[in-house]
Chain A
Amino acid sequence: MVKKLFVIIVLIGLAVFFYGMLSSFSGNETLNMSAAYYAENGAEEVGAANLVTAIVVTYRGLDTLGEVTILFLTAAIAAFFLKSKDNFSKRKVKESSELLKTASSMLVPLIFTLGIYVFVNGHLTPGGGFQGGAILASGLVLLLLSEPLQKVNSVLFAVVESISGLFYVGIGVAGIFLAGGFLDNSILPLGEFGTLLSAGALPVIYILVGLKVGSELSGLLTKFQETQEEN
């Protein structure tokens, strides 16, 4: 109880601090220097209709590479210590309901399609590689929920993950030789603004990201599934 009191006191201190921050925040009337630059030049320089994507993949492409790396890391770490149980598919689980099974067999293809759509159109509409990849993995979640004992081909995930990662780095390096620097998207022609084949290498990168994120999350999920022992 004493401990909780301490926590409360410290939290009050923290709250006071946050209040100070909050009161110093007065909202924005206009875009600041950086944002204004992106708004003015983003369309022309990168050629992506979605300015957020332009920033994520090109202007701040190194962050995105880093973030892909983090997912890769978590998947890799979990993989080396979550040792798969050989008998995970022999454990007894309650039969999934008919409703879930039917729905998942109908929905999963749709979900996968949606995921692919989201990352392929990442430079035009809201969404992108991460979102698309996450949608792909959510399809897998549904599959696993309906068939908990199902064996998933995790080797496939690993291969897709590695290939898309390598290509991503490769495209980045190509930017040094063919364009203005690492991860420059103008190694491919920018194309006609607003169409699917525009924004240079940006859609390619986002597709790779989508595949990579999808396979990494799926790999992680499979790993969790394979370590289960209990019913």
Chain B
Amino acid sequence: MDFGQIAVSVGFLLILIGVWGILTQKNIIKIVIGFSVFDTGLHMIMVGIGYVKGGTAPILDGAIAPGTAPINIVAGIVDPVPQALVLTAIVIGLGVTALMLAYVVRLYEDRKSLDISSYEDLKW
């Protein structure tokens, strides 16, 4: 197992834990935390997918100095794409979490309860 595979396995594990939290916790703040765990797992998977054995960070300043021949750059770095994607994913996750918490604030203001089963007004 290389770092990539380890990251991906841990990521899947975190996702399972997150889903467990989302599906079993009654407290809506804990559900939101479940989402955070889920997201973290997701991000680990994304980064792990982009890992290349022996590669370094895709920044052309240290190990791979500016001016390195393109062919050597290709051989020396990890995949930059998933890192770019994960940045976007993290920000989106942050936005969603913030918004969910904002909903929680409003829900709590109205009913003074954090139990998800207190919010079943609409059904059937």
Say whether A and B bind each other. Answer: yes
Binding site for B on A (CB under 8 A): 3-4, 7, 10-11, 14-15, 18-19, 21-22, 25-32, 34-36, 38-43, 49-52, 54-56, 60, 63-64, 66-67, 70-71, 73-74, 77-78, 81-82, 124-126, 128, 130, 193-194, 213, 220, 223-224, 227, 229
Residues of B63-86 at the interface with A, using a CB-CB cut-off of 8 Å, are 66-67, 70-71, 73-75, 77, 79-81, 83-85
Contacting pair A31 B87 (CB below 8 A): no
Bound CA–CA A15/B70 (angstroms): 41
A40 touches B73 (CB 8 A): yes
Cα A28 to Cα B60 in complex, Å, equals 21
A78/B99 in contact, CB under 8 A? yes
Does B60 lie within 8 Å of A43, measured CB to CB? yes
For the complex, give the distance between the alpha carbons of A130 and B5 in Å.
27
B98 touches A74 (CB 8 A): yes
Binary contact track B6-44/A, C-beta < 8 Å → 1, others 0:
001100100110011001100000000000000000000
**Dominant secondary structure at the B interface:** helix
Q: Does B92 contact A (CB under 8 A)?
A: yes
| Distance (whole angstroms) from the CB of B61 to the closest CB of chain A | 5
Asked if residues B51 and A27 are in contact (CB atoms below 8 Å), the reply is yes
The reply to whether B74 and A194 form a contact with Cβ atoms under 8 Å apart is no
Q: In the complex, are the beta carbons of B88 and A63 less than 8 A apart?
A: yes
Cβ-based interface call for B49 (8 A): yes
Q: Which 9 A-B pairs have the closest CB atoms?
A: A40-B70, A55-B84, A51-B58, A74-B95, A78-B102, A35-B79, A51-B80, A18-B12, A39-B74
Interface residue from A30, A70, A124, A213 paired with B92 (Cβ < 8 Å): A70
A81 to B103 CA separation, bound complex (whole angstroms): 9
* Inter-subunit contact B9/A43 (CB<8 Å): no
Chain A residues whose C-beta falls within 8 Å of the C-beta of B92 in the assembled complex: 67, 70
**Contacts A125-B61, A194-B61; A82 near B102 (Cβ below 8 A):** yes
Q: Are the C-beta atoms of A67 and B73 separated by less than 8 Å?
A: no
CB of B2 within 8 A of CB of A27, answer: yes
Q: Distance in Å from the Cβ of A144 to the closest Cβ of chain B? A: 15
**Contact at B58–A39, with CB atoms within 8 Å?**
yes
Q: Is B57 an interface residue (CB 8 A)?
A: yes
Contacts of B71 in A (CB 8 A): 40
Query: Are A126 and B57 touching (Cβ within 8 A)?
Result: yes
Q: Give the complex CA separation of A73 and B22 in angstroms.
A: 24
Q: Name which residue of chain A comes closest to B12, CB basis.
A: A18
Determine whether B122 belongs to the interface, using a CB cutoff of 8 Å to chain A: no
A12 nearest CB neighbor, chain B only: B16
* B16, B58, B105 interface centre (most CB from chain A within 10 Å): B58
In contact, A55 and B81 (Cβ under 8 angstroms): yes
Across the interface, which residues of B come within 8 angstroms of A128, CB to CB?
Answer: 87
Cα distance A126–B59 when bound, in Å? 8
Structural contact, A27 and B74, CB atoms closer than 8 A: no
Chain B residue, CB-CB nearest to A69: B95
Residues of A within 8 A of B79 (CB): 28, 31-32, 35
B 86-124 to A, binary, CB cutoff 8 A, 1 in contact else 0:
011011101110110110011001000000000000000
> Can you show 10 pairs from A to B with CB atoms below 8 A apart?
A35-B81, A41-B70, A52-B80, A52-B84, A55-B80, A60-B84, A60-B88, A63-B84, A81-B102, A193-B67
